[in-house]
Amino acid sequence: MAEEVVKVESRTVDPAEQQMLKRAQAEGIETIWDRADKMKPCPIGSEGACCRICSQGPCRVPPPKKAKPGEEQKKQAVGVCGATAETIVARNFARMVAAGSAAHTDHARGVAHLFKEVAHGRAPGYELKDAGKLRAIARDYDVPLSVGEGDDKKSRSKEEIAQDLAEKVLAEFGQQSGELVFSSKRAPKKRVELWRGLDVMPRGFDREVVEIMHRTHMGVDQDYKNIIHQCTRCAISDGWGGSMLATELQDVLFGTPVPVLGDSNLGVLKEDHVNVIIHGHEPLLPELINAASQDPEMLEYAKSKGAKGIQLAGICCSANEILMRHGIPVAANFLGQELAIITGAVDAMVVDVQCQFQALASLVKCFHTKLITTDERGRIEGETMYIPFDDHHGPEIARKVLKEAIDNFPNRRAPVIIPEQKYPCVVGFSMETIRYLLGGSIRGSYYTLNDNIIGGRVRGIGGVVGCNNVRTLHDNAHLSMVKELIKNDVVVLTTGCNAIACAKEGLLTPEAAIKYCGAGLAEVCETVGIPPVLHMGSCVDNARILLAAAACVRAGGLGNDISDLPAAGAAPEWMSEKAISIGHYFVSSGVYTIFSAAWPTTGSEILTDYLFHGLESELGGMWDFELDPVVAAQKMIAHIDKKRAALGIDK
């Protein structure tokens, strides 16, 4: 570009990505940062104060300027129909919750359909890997594990159990009344009672999303508290519903993660290998691509094209899924997706759904990279190739995708420049693993997490998750927040793009405990041999954090609801609607949840105050916003200390 060169240090803190940004600048290749510079966000829209849900608008109702002394304070405008700022901002917020929840539950739908096909033996390449977890879920859904009585009692096969379970979970999508199983059975008792009392127990996955769309249609729900009430119900159906179901069924199909060693950053790509980037969110096809990449026939084929082997590497949450279960290296998080291609070494980028830039389609034209879409819900105009996944031909489709990548290996045009940065990480901390390592359900042992919290070695728990956002210095907020927390003895549970940022910084290693942690947390990490930042998976795996919180409550000694725990949540670089749904289900679960980067309801002071303060008396959790990630971390710590004091365990 002929424009003046922007300092790459002002765009990302990652040296590997800085190197790729320099290449982009030198070669005139446009990235998301260039487009962001050209696109000024609309100040009214970013406050949530613009309503465009009917054609009499768009109506803009930004907060009026504060009156000077002696002047009369101007009232905030209302929309043409009379809709107040509270209504308009709440409607916009609610639609974010609906979209985020829809993304997660629609992910769950795909997994549930595959699960059914596997149960009936109609999905080659897949199996019911975790029979123990299958039985645990079946118990929650009242699916019998055995038939007959007394001496005739026979246990049922996993297939039989799974077939019944599949019908029951699929029915929850269109369920009209009653309660979702996980919401009512897996949350702490006191929380469930609270939800029932507030009438926010979700009834069916699809119903809650549809109801938000209806309520936020022109002229329906015009009471902001009532709109947020439905947000709460919809968000619970995401966290304690769709996301949890996606996570649990994926564990049954692909295995529950246990600690595994992986590598991170762009240095995981290999010049002499066929490099295939897996990017997106749903691990169904990636699981089989991973299997196919080890197939001797495939490796032979790669060699016949002059490559030494096949290197898979991930981006975004599909990356987290295959990293956790197979140790497949992760190349980058959200903001690195273009930069991976700019290495010139990516032979195919395989995408499914969510968080994929449309700009990838034009970017791959500057290189040889094939952009392969694989999901009928996620086509990209100008995609190089569309190879749709279906449950019944998985292995065949996986091989076809890989073959396209291999065939493309000899077509590399641009010089290959792969940054050298590559850092190890220990991942795979499912709730089950954490319970095993930290003895969550047996109190009294030295390693028990609860006892360490009570004893003060661990001050509390911080869930730090979520996206990257081009409007903030890439990865900076993630890293400074996490470092501030572990320095103050707060153990961090991470997922999503925060987890990848932490991996690239070496925070997911036991050694990080010595380098960054306060003495108490360092001691616990060294004794148990774990990192101070525990990678729990992808964004749907935030459900694992909920389950871990519920397990802490059950283990005893820290109150009897999630809102009693010395814990706080954050998404310091969020950008997607999914993050808002996730944040709201944490708040609804009783967690103090703070976001940085931007806040979408500043258009209404009244609504914002309700989200930040009013909700605490109803739900025990509340939202907060703070631009500075270190200050945000300190606010989380202050909340943790407040909860410690309430429990009588402050030092």
- In the chain, the N- to C-terminal Cα span, in Å, equals 58
Q: For residue 391, what are the CA distances in angstroms to 112, 285, 388, 517?
A: 11, 9, 10, 45
79 binds, among ligand CUV, ligand SF4, none (CB under 5 to 8 A by kind): ligand SF4
Told to check if 466 binds ligand CUV by CB under 6 A, we report yes
| List 18, 275, 472, 576, residue binding ligand CUV (CB under 6 A) | 576
Told to check if 548 binds ligand SF4 by CB under 6 A, we report no
Structure tokens at 153: 């009692």
51 binds, among ligand CUV, ligand SF4, none (CB under 5 to 8 A by kind): ligand SF4
Q: Which residues pair with 311 in a beta bridge?
A: 275
Smallest separation, CB 352 to ligand CUV (Å)? 11
| Contact (CB, 8 A) for 496 and 539 | yes
| List 254, 301, 334, 516, residue binding ligand CUV (CB under 6 A) | 334
54 binds, among ligand SF4, ligand CUV, none (CB under 5 to 8 A by kind): ligand SF4
| List 80, 145, 171, 514, residue binding ligand SF4 (CB under 6 A) | 80
Smallest separation, CB 219 to ligand SF4 (Å)? 7
**Which region, judged by CB under 6 A, interacts with ligand SF4, from 49-57, 343-351, 497-505, 587-595?**
49-57
Binding mask 410-449 for ligand CUV (x = CB under 6 A): ----------------------------------------
Number of residues that bind ligand CUV (CB under 6 A): 15
Q: Which of 591, 321, 318, 547 is nearest to 434 (CA)?
A: 547
Binding mask 199-238 for ligand SF4 (x = CB under 6 A): -------------------x--------------------
In the chain, the largest separation of any two C-alpha atoms, in whole Å, equals 89
Told to check if 90 binds ligand SF4 by CB under 6 A, we report no
Q: Closer to ligand CUV by CB, 51 or 479: give it.
A: 479
**3-state secondary structure at position 552:** helix
| List 310, 355, 406, 454, residue binding ligand CUV (CB under 6 A) | 355
| List 28, 35, 39, 56, residue binding ligand SF4 (CB under 6 A) | 56
Smallest separation, CB 163 to ligand CUV (Å)? 30
Q: Which residues pair with 312 in a beta bridge?
A: 276
Smallest separation, CB 282 to ligand CUV (Å)? 10
Q: What is the DSSP letter of 157?
A: P
Smallest separation, CB 218 to ligand SF4 (Å)? 4
Structure tokens at 642: 């407040």
Told to check if 281 binds ligand CUV by CB under 6 A, we report yes
The 10 Å Cβ neighbour count of residue 634 is 16
Q: Which residues in the 505-564 window bind ligand CUV by CB under 6 A?
A: 538-539
Q: Closer to ligand CUV by CB, 325 or 578: give it.
A: 578
Q: Closer to ligand SF4 by CB, 54 or 258: give it.
A: 54
Told to check if 44 binds ligand SF4 by CB under 6 A, we report no
Lateral strand order in the sheet of 370-373: 385-386, 370-373, 346-351, 274-279, 310-315, 330-332, 260-264, 423-427
Told to check if 85 binds ligand SF4 by CB under 6 A, we report no
Told to check if 472 binds ligand CUV by CB under 6 A, we report no
| Dihedral of alpha carbons 8, 14, 19, 23, sign | negative
Told to check if 569 binds ligand CUV by CB under 6 A, we report no
Told to check if 461 binds ligand CUV by CB under 6 A, we report no
Smallest separation, CB 213 to ligand SF4 (Å)? 14
- How buried is residue 598: exposed, middle or buried, by Cβ count under 10 Å (0-12/13-18/19+)? middle
| List 13, 24, 59, 637, residue binding ligand SF4 (CB under 6 A) | 59
Q: Closer to ligand SF4 by CB, 12 or 230: give it.
A: 230
Smallest separation, CB 223 to ligand SF4 (Å)? 15
| Contact (CB, 8 A) for 99 and 212 | no
Q: For residue 269, what are the CA distances in angstroms to 27, 29, 404, 420, 537?
A: 21, 21, 18, 9, 22
| Contact (CB, 8 A) for 597 and 472 | yes
Q: Closer to ligand SF4 by CB, 83 or 355: give it.
A: 83
Q: Would strands 592-595 and 423-427 be described as parallel, antiparallel, or unpaired? A: unpaired
Listing DSSP states for 207-257 in one string gives HHHHHHHHHTSTTS---HHHHHHHHHHHHHHIIIIIIHHHHHHHHHHH---
Structure tokens at 486: 């572990």
Smallest separation, CB 529 to ligand CUV (Å)? 28
Q: 3-class secondary structure for 384-444?
A: CEECCCCHHHHHHHHHHHHHHHHHHHHHCCCCCCCCCCCEEEEECCCHHHHHHHHCCCCCC
| List 107, 457, 459, 578, residue binding ligand CUV (CB under 6 A) | 578
Amino acid code (one letter) for 535: H
Q: Closer to ligand SF4 by CB, 81 or 361: give it.
A: 81
List interacting residues with ligand CUV (CB under 6 A): 281, 316-317, 333-334, 354-355, 466-467, 496-497, 538-539, 576, 578
List interacting residues with ligand SF4 (CB under 6 A): 51-54, 56-59, 79-81, 83, 88, 218
